[in-house]
Amino acid sequence: MTGQARSTLQKKDSMHHAVTQKAIFAGGCFWGVEYHFNRLKGVLSAKSGYTGGVIDHPTYKQVCTGKTGHAEAVEVEFDPALVSYETLAKFFFEIHDPTELNRQGPDIGTQYRSAVFYTDDEQKKVAEKLISELKAKGYEVVTTLEQAGPFWVAEEYHQDYYERNGHQPYCHIYQKRF
């Protein structure tokens, strides 16, 4: 796994000596997912990109064909001293509809699938637990659990899309589920 793609990256900040971690979530169009995560306490950054596919350095145009296997996803770098992975994962399940198969609202295709790209066994266990809790509440969850691989940062015009364009997400409305 490349340095860019490593999802459990741990970096030491010389001033704070904080260890950061990364999580990758796919829940439809990455603009809305990124928008919500960037507002969460403890999140240091959220980047839109592509993961889960078969080609290196995919472009938006390639991913939109649905033929590369990639999902539009968001890589979240966070400070585990301020926010837990479980809190992030719960939030993820509350900012998109985990019962929609290969779509979110008007966006249709496998590139819009609901997926947790886990970076280690602990993240996988947390995601499995949360999916079980949602199913016990009657949700027909279709979210897949996929081992994280390379994460390719999307083109610059996709980063902070809603912030730069002065709009609010229309496919990602927060809904309390836990």
Q: Give the residue numbers marked as catalytic.
A: 29
Cβ–Cβ < 8 Å for 130, 100: no
Alpha-helix residue ranges (DSSP H) falling in 2-146: 30-37, 60-64, 85-94, 121-136
Q: Is 13 helix (H, G, I), strand (E, B) or coil?
A: coil
169, 52, 93, 134: CA torsion to nearest 10: 150
Alpha-helix residue ranges (DSSP H) falling in the chain: 30-37, 60-64, 85-94, 121-136, 161-165
